[in-house]
Every structure is written in C-alpha cells, then in structure tokens.
C-alpha cells in the first residue's frame, strides 16, 4: 500500500532528485501566494489560523509536486559474458541441401541449440534477431565481424559463433597465383571473445555446374594476343568433364573440352587476336544438366575494350623531298607509331637495266606483299607523291583495288600531293580514285605552282582534324598566320560525301567550286584524306619567329592521324550504350549520334537498324533531332549478348555511315556464382583467430571463455510527483481549509 502511495518502493541506496522546470515551479509558487493572500484578507487573521494553515500546507504540497520529485538509485553488477551467434542470411543460404532443408534452416537450428545466446543475421551488414529469409546480398564475413566489434566495443564476450557456408564475396581470403588462399589479417578486427566457425552445407552435395570466373582483363590491344581463361566447377554431379563455349558479341569464337580434377574444378584457355577496336562482350557458357540446382550460374560475361597500343603506319613516297623528310621524322619520333617507310624505290626499269640485283644500291620494293598480304596489318597508309606505274607493272588495277577495299573495310588512307600524285600520277579512272575525297581527271593543266595560303572553310572550323586549338577562334587565327605553300595539284572538285576543310583562296576547281586543298571522306567503314600540296613542312616554321617550335605542324598531323584511324566513338555515326551489363527488365536507352561530313550534328537524318539477340532481331527506326541525336529504348528481357546495329542516311537517301555496339542481359546472381561451401576459408579464419572449426553435421560445441564477464549498470527511479500521496494530500488539505472556512460562516 505504501509503495502505491509513493509511486514505487523507496528502495535503499537512493536519493531524492527534482526534475521539474524552474519556470513552472516558480509560476505555481506565485499562484499559491496570490491565492493565500486573497484568502487572508479581509478581516483579522485571529480565528482563521487553522483555515490558513491548511491552505498553506496544500499550496506547499502543490509547489513540491510541481518540482517533480523522483527517488533515484544507480549501481553496477557483474554478470557472465554474453554468447553471440552470427547466422549467414545471404542468398546462397537459400540453397536446399539433400534432405530437403535449406542452409538457412540448418543454420537457425544450430543457433537455436545455444540457449541464452544473442542472435544476429548478416549478409553485407549485421542485423539483430533471426532472419525471415535468405535474401540478403553478397556475403562479407569481415564486414560482419567488424560490425560486431563496433557493437560490443570494449566488452569481453563469452564466445562468438559464426554460422555460414563460407561463400565470401568480400575478399577476406583471395586465392593467390599459387592457388592457395591467403587470409587478409588486416581485415579482421580484435574480437571480444573466442571464435567458433560452424560450416553449413556439404561441399559436394548440391548438384551444380558453374562458370566461376572469366579472366580477360578490362581492355586488350589491337592485333595483340588476348588470353581468356574460364574457370568451371561442379558439385554433387558425377561428371568427368564438360564443354566450355566462348562467344564474342553472341558469335562463337571457340570451344574447349575440359576435365574436372579431384576437387571438381576445370580451366579452359582461349587465345584470341582482336582485329578491330571497340567494345566486345565475351561470354563463357557450359551445358546445363537436368538436375542442375542453379542454372543461372552456367554462363558468365566479361566486357573487353580493344584499343590500339601503337598505330601501324605504311609511308610510301615516290622520291625524297623536304615534305617526306619532315613527315617521316614526325612519324619516327612518335612512340605511339610503328612506322614502315619506303621512299627511295627500285623501279621495274632498274630491274631491267642489265645490272645484277646485288649491284643495285636501292632495295627491292615489296609492293605485291605490301598491297596484298600485309595491307590489313596497317592502321594508316600514306601515299606521298607516289606514282604507282613504274612499280606496280601489270598488277596496278589489282593492287590499287586492294587498297580501295582496305579503305572500305575500315582502313585509313592519306593521299598527298606533288609532281607524281593526283592526275600527274595517272590515278584518274583507277579503283583508288573511287575512294578519294576529290574527283580526278582534270582537263588541261594539272597543277598550279603559284604560292598561296589556304583558307579554312566552315566545315574545317568545326572538324576535329583541323582544330589546332581547343578554342575555335584561336584555331582559326593559327591557320591565318601559317606560311604560304608552294603550289597545289588541281582536281575536278570534292567527291560526293566529302568535306573540304581547306580551300584555295582564288583558284577554282573544274566544277566551279573553290579548289580543295584538304578534303576528307568516309568510305564504307574507312576514311580517306587528300592534301593537294607537297609543302606542308613549311607549317613547322609558323611559330619560329615568335620563339616557338613546330607545334602547328605537329598538331595538324597528330589530329589528322587520330581522326583517320579514329575508334568507333569518333565516327560520323556513333551508337552509345550506357552499360555493358544490364538486368532483365531494366530501361536501357541507346543514343545514336549522326554528323555530316564536316562533323556538324545532322538533323532530320533517317536512322534504321536492329537489336540482334539470341532469339532474333528487333527493328529500330527513327529520325535525328536538332542535335543530331536519335534515342531508342531497347529490349532487356532475354538473357545473353545483344548487338545494336544502326545505319543513317540523309534526306536524299545517301548513306552517311553505320555503327554498332553491344550489351549483355545478365540474370546471374553474383552471390550464386558458386554455391560450393568453402571449408578452406572457414578453417583459415578459425586458425587465424585461435578459434575452433566445426564441420557440417557435427555437434555445435562453441569455444567459450569462462572468465568472461560484463558490467551491467542499473538505474532505477520512482516518480514520487506522480504518486497518489501528493495529489491526495493537496485535495485533503484544501478540503480541510474550505471546511473550516464554511464552519466559521465565511464563503
């Protein structure tokens, strides 16, 4: 009864504390004084002493209650150390073991056998209580232990029990080149108690074949060996071997029959030779047995970007000259260029002069091999003031045809002027003339020898080839102060689809347009450039008078080479896929950019194409906007590699170019790449921490520290202000004061 009246037991060792707000207490005290003052007047106090004393006591109790008195006691006590259980709840724990129970159910049963333990579950982080399902993300054992260390910082635990299948995605123990796991000791925290590691799941029980790794690197070099290694493993299946198939952008590139070792692992090796730059998706797959528990891990994709290590350039010049000397020096000094150069050549007339080969000082020009067998190995071919007739003999049409097909297939050709080039070299009517950016066959004189300074055209001001500075105005100013040139080869005019970047200031072509000096053209997948002068070397002196070097000359040729052999991202038509790997149902937006020959965005261009996937083709069709872009949403419902292929044409139907890219729809869950439990990692973890390892099916006997204890802080309080005693005292005393007042006949 007394505890009820006082709001709780007034336990020993406590003290009284007031928790009320001073402002409230002061307000109540003032109110009580005002009421008592009004009650004390009028009339003499004698005869009303009892009434006033009772009222004053009631007011005092009310002020005391407003101060919120609380009876408080604090203390500490020692208790045995806490046993903590961490249960893996990642998706690999949802695998069903023989017998019909999931790994999570087996783990929770093991945890339930440890009464009084504090239970947590984890995937990448730590969560209190039992897991409702095995649906957490990738397992990170080190992160879970670190989170536990933060939660019990400074506390000694009786023991820590880690219940898991050991499939760790956090890199706690990567496998080295020697094939052995090396535990990262720096990733482990200082544990507050002895560790017991309990393995869940039999290592070879669940039937599964999986591609566990594809080693290819993020990028490869053009025409250099690319090694792709595929790792495969099997569990719970009586398979001696399987077949690993490798595809590139959905097209097969090879297959390897592999045999599993005693541990159920196999490795397939592929040597590839990338022949074109760009982005490719290599996917390794293995057949899926009917009893395979996780079919989604039977394939794995790897995106590889193929880039140029060094640009391979063939320079062929009809005779030595200052222009040839400067350009050859520029090419030889560039560490990114692999140069093959011929400029003092032995003609067929030399061969028939009556001298023996060893008596001739000039080396033989291997023109047949260069322009047939070896042509595809070059990124750029430069014909510099080269007249083919004295060398090609009766093979001219075939060899020049090879060069034209090389361009259409994606090669680059720079055609430079001089007294042996253009119409002076009799190229009009040859197969090569069909791919040049200028039309040949000038009637009358074929050259203008008057010095001149070329004019930068509107297309040249925009084009990356003629950008000598990042600032367009500065680039135009640089072109304006370059030295004059020594004359130019003439032409009929620009070829269809070509862009004129530099023009003669006064001379007209045969078609009446300003004479092209520098013109470029996209032909099929390749590019051609025609420079109708043989004195570009003079540009190297443009800044000499100002104390500078030959930067204008170097920037021009660097830009020219970079554009000529441009990667797929530097074409007139480009297609951009934001990600290589997407999940089914994702919204994947593909953007197509179309530019004209002068590299300006082209509005109103017609874009058609298709998305080619494992099940067939899905058409694409659209028109570019004012920014030269056409945007498409492509399907992401079917697993596997997909190729986006587009073609663009202008309003007249002329083809502007084509482009393609790739992406892969992946249904593979990284957590299920391999479902094999990893006792090697778990044993290493137990050994590194001085703990105990318990295998699957064994009785869980945790390693405990009997001396472990923890300090438990007690805090108890009894709110006297809210107890019935205070309110009752106020009511009783106020009632007594009122009764005495009424008895004396006062209101």
Q: State the pLDDT at residue 344.
A: 64
Of 625, 681, 698, 732, give the one whose Cα is nearest residue 183.
681
Domains of the chain and any CATH numbers: 2-77+715-743 (no CATH), 83-199+681-707 (3.40.50), 217-298 (2.60.40.10), 311-566 (3.40.50.880), 569-665 (2.60.40.1930)
Write out the H or E segment, with its range, that includes residue 456.
Answer: strand 455-456
Burial class (CB in 10 A: 0-12, 13-18, 19+), 358: exposed
What whole-number distance in Å separates Cα of residue 442 and Cα of residue 498? 18
Q: Please tell me the distance from the alpha carbon of residue 107 to that of residue 94, in angstroms, as a whole number.
A: 11
Closest CA to 157 of 736, 743, 703: 703
Torsion 440-445-449-451 (CA) sign: negative
Q: Tokens in use for 471? A: 């600032």
- Report the distance separating Cα 340 and Cα 342, nearest Å: 7
Q: Determine the length of the chain.
A: 747
Per-residue tokens: 520: 């470029």
Strands (E), 99-238: 118-122, 126-128, 159-164, 195-199, 208-215, 219-221, 226-235
- State the Cα–Cα distance between residues 13 and 72, nearest whole angstrom: 9
Q: Tell which residue, 127, 192, 94, 90, has the closest CA to residue 709.
A: 192
Residue 569, pLDDT score? 58
Residue 306: how many CA atoms within 13 Å on its side-chain side?
20
Distances (CA, A) of 548 to 277, 542, 555, 648: 36, 8, 13, 44
Tell me, what's the pLDDT at 273?
Answer: 87
> Which pLDDT belongs to residue 543?
60
Please choose, from the candidates 193, 183, 95, the residue with its C-alpha nearest in 3D space to the C-alpha of residue 141. Answer: 183
Split the chain (747 residues) into runs of 10 and give each run's mean pLDDT.
Answer: 53 73 81 74 63 76 80 75 93 84 92 92 88 85 90 88 90 69 80 92 81 82 87 88 90 92 92 84 89 83 80 89 91 88 62 46 69 88 91 85 93 94 94 95 92 93 85 87 92 93 93 94 91 92 61 89 75 82 82 82 91 85 92 83 88 83 76 80 90 92 88 72 74 75 68
> 222 — phi, psi (to 5°)?
-65, 135
Q: Please tell me whether residue 486 adopts helix, strand or coil conformation.
A: coil
The alpha carbon of 135 is separated from its chain's Cα centroid by a whole number of angstroms, namely 25
Taking the C-alpha atoms of residue 520 and residue 105, their distance in angstroms, rounded to an integer, is: 69
If you write DSSP's letter for every residue of 153-181 in order, what string do you get?
A: TTPPPSEEEEEE-----S-SS-B-TTS-B
Q: What is the pLDDT of residue 66?
A: 81
Give the C-alpha distances (Å, rounded to integers) separating 279 from 145, 306, 569, 574, 659: 40, 6, 10, 13, 12
Residue 549 contacts residue 485 (beta carbons within 8 Å): no
- Helix H or strand E encompassing 330: helix 322-333
């Amino acid at each position: 009864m007394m505890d009820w009246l006082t709001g709780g037991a007034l336990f020993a060792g406590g003290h009284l504390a007031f928790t009320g707000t001073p402002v409230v207490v002061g307000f109540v005290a003032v109110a009580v004084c005002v009421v008592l003052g009004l009650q004390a007047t009028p009339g003499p106090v004698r005869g009303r002493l009892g009434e006033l004393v009772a009222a004053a006591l009631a007011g005092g109790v009310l002020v005391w209650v407003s101060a919120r008195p609380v009876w408080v006691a604090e203390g500490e006590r020692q208790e045995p150390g806490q046993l903590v259980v961490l249960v893996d709840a990642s998706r690999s724990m949802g695998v069903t073991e023989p017998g019909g129970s999931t790994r999570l159910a087996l783990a929770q049963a093991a945890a339930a056998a440890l009464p009084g333990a504090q239970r947590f579950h984890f995937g990448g982080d730590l969560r209190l209580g039992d897991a409702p399902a095995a649906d957490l993300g990738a397992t990170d054992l080190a992160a879970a232990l670190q989170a536990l260390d933060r939660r019990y910082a400074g506390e000694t635990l009786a023991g820590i029990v880690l219940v898991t299948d050991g499939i760790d995605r956090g890199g706690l123990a990567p496998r080295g080149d020697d094939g052995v796991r090396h535990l990262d000791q720096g990733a482990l925290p200082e544990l507050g108690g002895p560790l017991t590691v309990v393995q869940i799941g039999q290592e070879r029980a669940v039937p599964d074949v999986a591609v566990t790794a594809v080693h290819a690197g993020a990028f490869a070099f053009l025409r250099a060996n690319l090694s792709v290694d595929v790792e495969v493993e099997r569990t719970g299946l009586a398979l001696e071997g399987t077949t690993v198939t490798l595809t590139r952008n959905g097209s097969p590139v090879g297959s390897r029959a592999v045999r599993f070792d005693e541990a159920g692992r196999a490795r397939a090796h592929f040597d590839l030779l990338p022949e074109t730059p760009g982005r490719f998706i290599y996917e390794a797959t293995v057949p899926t047995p009917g009893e395979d528990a996780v079919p989604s891990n039977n394939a794995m994709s790897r995106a590889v970007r193929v880039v140029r290590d060094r640009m391979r350039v063939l320079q062929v010049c009809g005779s030595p000259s200052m222009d040839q000397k400067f350009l050859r020096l520029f090419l030889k000094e560039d560490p990114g260029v692999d140069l093959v150069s011929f400029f003092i050549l032995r003609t067929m007339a030399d061969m028939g002069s009556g001298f023996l080969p060893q008596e001739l000082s000039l080396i033989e020009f291997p023109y047949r091999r260069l322009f047939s067998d070896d042509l595809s190995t070059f990124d750029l071919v430069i014909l510099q003031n080269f007249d083919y007739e004295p060398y090609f003999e009766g093979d001219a049409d075939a060899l020049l045809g090879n060069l034209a097909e090389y361009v259409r297939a994606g090669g680059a050709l720079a055609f430079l002027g001089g007294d042996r080039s253009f119409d002076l070299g009799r190229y009009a009517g040859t197969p090569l003339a069909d791919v040049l950016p200028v039309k040949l066959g000038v009637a009358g004189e074929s050259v203008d020898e008057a010095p001149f300074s070329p004019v930068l055209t509107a297309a040249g001001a925009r084009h990356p080839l003629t950008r000598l500075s990042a600032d367009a105005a500065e680039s135009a100013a640089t072109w304006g102060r370059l030295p004059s040139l020594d004359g130019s080869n003439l032409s009929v005019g620009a070829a269809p689809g070509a862009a004129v970047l530099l023009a003669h200031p006064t001379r007209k072509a045969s078609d009446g347009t300003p004479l092209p000096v520098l013109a470029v053209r996209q032909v099929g997948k390749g590019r051609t450039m025609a420079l109708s002068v043989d004195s570009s070397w003079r540009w190297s002196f443009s800044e000499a008078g100002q104390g500078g070097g030959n930067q204008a000359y170097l920037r021009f040729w660097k830009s020219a080479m970079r554009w000529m052999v441009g990667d797929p991202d530097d074409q007139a038509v480009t297609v951009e896929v934001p990600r290589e790997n997407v999940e089914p149902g994702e919204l994947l937006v593909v953007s197509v950019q179309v530019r004209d020959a002068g590299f300006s965005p082209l509005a109103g261009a017609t874009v058609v194409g298709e998305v080619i996937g494992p099940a067939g083709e899905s058409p694409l069709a659209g028109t570019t906007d004012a920014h030269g872009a056409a945007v498409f949403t492509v399907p992401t419902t079917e697993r596997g590699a997909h190729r986006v292929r587009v073609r663009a044409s202008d309003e007249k139907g002329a083809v502007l170019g084509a482009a393609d890219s790739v992406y892969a729809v992946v249904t593979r869950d990284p957590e299920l790449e391999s479902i094999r439990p990893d006792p090697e990692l778990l044993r290493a973890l137990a050994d590194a921490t001085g703990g105990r390892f318990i295998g699957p099916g064994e009785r869980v006997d945790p390693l405990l520290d009997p001396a472990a204890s923890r300090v438990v802080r007690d805090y108890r309080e009894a709110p006297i202000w809210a107890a019935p005693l205070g309110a009752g005292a106020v009511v009783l005393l106020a009632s007594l004061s009122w009764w005495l007042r009424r008895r004396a006949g006062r209101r």
